[in-house]
A and B are shown apart, each in its own frame.
Chain A
Amino acid sequence: MPQLPEPLERLIQELSRLPGIGPKTAQRLAFHLLRADRQRAESLALAIGDVKARIGYCERCYNIAEGSLCAICISTRRDASLLCVVESALDLLAVERTSEFNGLYFVLHGVISPIDGIGPDQLHMPQLFDRVRSEGVVEVIVATDADIEGEATAVYLQRALIPLGVTVTRPAHGLPVGGDLEYADELTLARAMAGRRSF
């Protein structure tokens, strides 16, 4: 293949690092941006810069946040005795959309996976246990995915949390088996949250 100009080559490289984007798609996107008018392209670059500069993680629950705390942790209308543990900020959004849950969250940003070197520390679990001990939490809902690692993570949390004197529950069955929370439809997820069961 003939050599492309260096900046274009670099853009293709960067794009192909994004999840779900292969080399072909990266090329198509790069050429699309090349053709797009300058203002559009710059506004994309700016948006990426702003996200990195202005958005970080909530100190308390690791949800995405514009300041040191996220909108949910700041709110005074949430029930602090209920804590829902999710794998990702996207899963948190999925639970929020059901309007079934009025407690607080803890976002793990992953699951226990020895193969990938991810254990309780990488998932901030010590902070989670501190919160449970010190913030009057009564029930922890473990809403990790129903795949192998999600289940193992739920088992780990259940074993670690019960000695702290809280009730530990799991959203009821009805979630697609082996499925992603993020992709569960709203009604299914709402039912699963409402019908959660103890381990």
Chain B
Amino acid sequence: MLLRRLQLRNHRNYAHLDLTPGPGVNLFIGDNGQGKTNLLEAVAMLALSASPRTRRDNEVVGPVAAATRIEAEVESGGIVIELAIALTVEGDRARRVIEVDGVRRRAFDLPGHFRVTLFWPDDLGLIKGGPELRRRFLNQMLVQVEPGYARALAGLKRVLEQRNSQLKRMAAGDGGGDVLEAWNEELIRIGGEVSIARARAVQELEPVAARCHSEIASGERLEIEYLGPPANVAEAVHNSLAEDLRRGSTSIGPHHDDLRVLLDGREARAYGSQGQQRTAVVSLKLAEAALVAQRTGERPVLLLDDVLSELDGERRSALLRQVAGAGQVIITSVEAGPFPPELISSARVWTVSGGEISTCG
């Protein structure tokens, strides 16, 4: 997987960018607030179709105009594809138009054409933070490798909106238990698609993450458990009716999923030190990249945003070993300090300043 060319128009602080990254390691150095994360965000949007940084598309639109365009030429399996995302501000939201090779596509049909594994400071909270971070971790990986997953996720969101709306109508005395039954079936059907994909992914992730973690943390045993909807979903949905009516929301479904990470049999979230948690995060991220490569036969583009400076010792080395392997990597950092000289000498080095990027040396 290769990003051959990236063009930005009015994306955040990039008024205009035309970038041709190299096929190996690309290092972007710049002070804080210069546009390093913005750059990776744009690249990630081409893989995920939405920003991993914000739910509100219009936030990325820069000051030059009421529209943003992100365009790329990517290469996958020897085939070159052109991808484009155009955002136009309409009131407090943005209209999104997506094109693959010049043909308009729905948002959920974009992922899978270009694949990345993004690792940025937010991810350092993957173990410690709330369950939505861990669901996002699974989602970002699965939309790129599991056909139909992005569509199922969008469908699940819609089903929940509709079902919750029906619950509120019923609570207000409008009747409609028979209509709710139809939405229950949809919840179970589409929720099932999502949780089957997640359960399978976790099974594939575990051995790779465990191996990696054990290498960094001298033999510590990592396990991952998928905490999905109960086995008998239909019954659980049925039994939750009274509570759902009271709360006006849906208590059973993959929108409450979580991952439990265990280190030597103890819950990492509660008992792990910061160092142990970070090792587990690095291991999960490396396992993610490995799963994408395994499923698609092609390594995803690695996007490492300012994380090397946050890591030390064996954790940094493990990540750097991965970086040194074949494939394209885009790394940002405030300074070149954390990188070994042999990496810098083989990398393409760029400087980022005030939304402009120039080659360095």
Contacts and interface: CB of A to CB of B under 8 A. Distances in A.
Interface string B168-185: 010000001011011101
Contacts of B182: 112, 152-153, 155-156, 159
B155 A148 contact: yes
A120 B176 CA distance: 9
B159 interface: yes
B330 to A, nearest CB: 33
A46 interface: no
A1 interface: no
A119 B170 CA distance: 12
B178 A160 contact: yes
A153 B179 CA distance: 9
Nearest to B162: A114
A112 B176 CA distance: 11
Contacts of B151: 177-178
Contacts of A155: 182, 185-186
Contact of A120 (B163, B179, B183): B179
Given A114-B165, A114-B166, A178-B151, A156 B158 contact: no
A148 B185 contact: no
The majority secondary structure among interface residues of chain B is helix
Interface string A122-156: 00000000000000000000000000110111011
Interface of A: 112-115, 119-120, 148-149, 151-153, 155-156, 159-160, 177-178
B18 interface: no
Contact of A115 (B106, B161, B181): B161
B246 to A, nearest CB: 17
Interface in B176-199: 176, 178-179, 181-183, 185-186, 189-190
B162 A148 contact: yes
Nearest to A160: B178
A155 B182 CA distance: 6
Interface residues on B, range: 20 to 34
26 contacts: A113-B162, A114-B163, A114-B165, A114-B166, A114-B169, A114-B176, A114-B179, A120-B179, A148-B158, A148-B186, A148-B190, A149-B158, A149-B162, A151-B186, A152-B182, A152-B185, A152-B186, A153-B182, A155-B185, A156-B178, A156-B182, A160-B178, A177-B148, A177-B151, A178-B106, A178-B151
Given A148-B158, A178-B106, A178-B155, 6 more contacts: A114-B163, A115-B162, A149-B162, A152-B162, A153-B182, A178-B151
A41 to B, nearest CB: 31
Nearest to B190: A148
Nearest to B167: A114
A134 B163 CA distance: 32
Given A114-B166, A115-B165, A152 B178 contact: no
Contacts of B189: 151
A119 B162 contact: no
Contacts of B155: 148, 178
A114 B165 CA distance: 6
A69 B165 CA distance: 36
B124 to A, nearest CB: 36
Given A148-B155, A148-B158, A112 B186 contact: no
A149 to B, nearest CB: 7
Interface string B143-163: 000001001000100110111
A134 to B, nearest CB: 21
Contacts of A119: 176, 179
Contacts of A113: 162
Nearest to B185: A155
A177 B152 CA distance: 11
Contacts of A153: 182
Nearest to B148: A177
Contacts of A112: 179, 182
Contacts of B185: 152, 155
